[in-house]
Amino acid sequence: MELLNRKAIKRFEAAQSEAALFDFDELNVIKVVKTLYKRLASDNRKMFLDLAQAVYDEADPHGDEEPDEAWLLAFLEEYNAVTKYVYQHEIDRKRDYTAEGVNSSKDKAKEFRRGLMYWSRMTEQYCLDVSDAATLKAFKDAGVARVRWVSEKDDRVCGKCQERDGKVYPIDKVPPKSHFGCRCHIEAVIEK
């Protein structure tokens, strides 16, 4: 995650310098930003896939059908109840928003910074969501029927999460997390 953010920072800096070379010519900005988001998206896909496979293998129990690229793409094409958008669509929206911002504002650097901030926030949330989805897949593949919701036992946990703590759900009926940055996780219920 840290590493990825450093990479994203570098990508945004490079794009900004490139756009500056052409004096922020509007058409050039659109081109530079398009390339920028294509690279960011590709960085994220690689990272999400590595993360999903690592989480899958660590899940106890887990099956033997590690998440692959097709699994990841299907997940990113789905509506996400936490972020309230489809990742693959949101990339284009963020890209256009950044290009429009840079083109319409005098403070170009600020618009690039804003783009980076939104990108990082989305990436951070999707690291959690991809991990959760990979865990669920691992349990399903291993034949787990029910899972238990586990929330963090500290004073930062919100009421809604605390209320769910310890609840057991059929594996196909696990509710989505109720907010960004939720630290809850699920564990397999081992039937006797």
Q: Which residues make up the interface to Zn ion (CB under 5 A)?
A: 161, 182, 184
Least distance in Å: CB of 189 to Zn ion? 19
Nearer to Zn ion, 16 or 125 (CB): 125
Contact 128, 182 (CB under 8 A): yes
Least distance in Å: CB of 117 to Zn ion? 23
DSSP state of 143: T
Nearer to Zn ion, 19 or 161 (CB): 161
Of all residues in the shown chain, the one whose CB is closest to Zn ion is: 161
Nearer to Zn ion, 95 or 164 (CB): 164
Least distance in Å: CB of 153 to Zn ion? 12
Least distance in Å: CB of 164 to Zn ion? 7
Nearer to Zn ion, 111 or 132 (CB): 132
Q: What is the CB neighbour count within 10 angstroms for residue 108?
A: 16
Longest Cα–Cα distance of the chain, Å, equals: 69
Calpha distance 99→105 (Å, rounded)? 10
Q: What is the CB neighbour count within 10 angstroms for residue 27?
A: 9
Quote the tokens at residue 188: 């397999």
Quote the tokens at residue 126: 């999707």
Q: What is the CA radius of gyration of the chain?
A: 19
